[in-house]
């Protein structure tokens, strides 16, 4: 059984997609052992509690120094002894010590086709604003492993989504979530849970 901890910052629709996929048998061999938010009022925490999942907030605002927050977050995650950490809309840059403690055991969902529209500053609506500003006709989402860079780890799954002339950033964000994120994040977890993922020379393959 793959034990996963999900880190969130907002509404938690990706968390909900994981919860639903486990319930529907689309993700097998997996248990969500904890949800951690950096924001106290994140609706994702309510979603977790509604499903009987242990949920807590660890906010950088509650610590004087960034290093103290980093340690607290690592400690909280360690308590769950997870096999995989899933970043599902988590808007905090991950502490280096966490990435080092869990090599190839952290995945992130990013709302574009990496390497386009990723890296510093590309999060949330900014990604979709940039896609529209460039006039792209196709965008999408990417699940990738997390390394010490920003959005730079091995790519695990991607799905393309059409951009429409009438799109606003909000409409495009919603379509990318519905048509890509909510599908490929559960698929990625299921593949990892069932031993179908290999990483070799920084290339991740699902077989
Ligand atoms: C998603 O678009 C995700 O890709 C991005 O933030 C959003 C989170 O949405 N990083 P939710 O909290 O899962 O609803």
Substitution site in 18, 21, 124 for ligand 1 pocket (most atoms within 8 Å of beta carbon)? 124
What is the rounded average pLDDT for all residues in the chain? 97
User: Residue 36 C-alpha to ligand 1 middle, in angstroms?
Assistant: 15
Q: CA 185, CA 82: separation in Å to the nearest integer?
A: 17
Q: CA 175, CA 197: separation in Å to the nearest integer?
A: 27
Minimum-distance ligand 1 atom for the alpha carbon of 181 = 4
Confidence of residue 68 (pLDDT cuts 50, 70, 90): very high
Q: CA 164, CA 167: separation in Å to the nearest integer?
A: 5
Average pLDDT rounded to a whole number, residues 129-136 = 98
pLDDT on residue 135: 98
pLDDT at 133 over 90: yes
Say if pTM beats, i.e. exceeds, 0.85.
yes
Average pLDDT rounded to a whole number, residues 9-20 = 97
pLDDT at 76 over 90: yes
pLDDT on residue 35: 98
- Which residue in 40, 97, 34 sits closest to 66, CA to CA? 97
Minimum-distance ligand 1 atom for the alpha carbon of 173 = 2
Average pLDDT rounded to a whole number, residues 149-155 = 92
Identify which has the larger pLDDT, 171 or 149. 171
Is the beta carbon of 151 within 6 A of some atom in ligand 1? no
pLDDT at 184 over 90: yes
Average pLDDT rounded to a whole number, residues 135-164 = 96
Average pLDDT rounded to a whole number, residues 139-159 = 95
pLDDT on residue 48: 98
Question: What string of DSSP letters covers 148-184?
Answer: SSSS-SPEEEEEEEE--TT--HHHHHHHHIIIIIHHH
- Determine which residue's CA is closest to atom 5 belonging to ligand 1: 89
pLDDT at 150 over 90: no
pLDDT on residue 192: 98
Is 128 one of the catalytic residues?
no
Average pLDDT rounded to a whole number, residues 54-69 = 97
User: Residue 175 C-alpha to ligand 1 middle, in angstroms?
Assistant: 12
pLDDT tens-digit map of 80-92: 999 999 999 999 9
Minimum-distance ligand 1 atom for the alpha carbon of 14 = 13
pLDDT on residue 30: 98
């Amino acid at each position: 059984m793959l034990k996963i901890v999900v880190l969130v910052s907002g509404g938690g629709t990706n968390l909900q997609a994981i919860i639903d996929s486990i319930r529907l048998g689309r993700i097998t061999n997996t248990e969500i052992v904890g949800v951690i938010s950096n924001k106290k009022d994140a609706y994702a925490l309510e979603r977790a509690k509604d499903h009987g999942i242990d949920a807590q907030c660890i906010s950088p605002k509650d610590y004087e120094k960034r290093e103290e927050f980093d340690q607290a977050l690592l400690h909280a995650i360690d308590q769950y002894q997870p096999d995989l950490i899933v970043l599902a809309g988590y808007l905090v840059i991950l502490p280096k010590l966490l990435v080092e403690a869990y090599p190839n055991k952290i995945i992130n969902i990013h709302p574009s086709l990496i390497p386009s529209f990723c890296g510093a500053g590309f999060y949330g609506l900014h990604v979709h604003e940039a896609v529209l500003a460039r006039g792209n006709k196709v965008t999408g989402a990417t699940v990738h492993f997390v390394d010490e860079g920003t959005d730079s780890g091995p790519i695990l799954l991607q799905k393309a989504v059409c951009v429409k002339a009438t799109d606003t950033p909000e409409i495009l964000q919603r379509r990318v979530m519905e048509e890509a994120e909510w599908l490929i994040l559960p698929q990625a977890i299921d593949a990892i849970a069932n031993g179908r993922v290999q990483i070799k020379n920084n290339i991740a393959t699902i077989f």
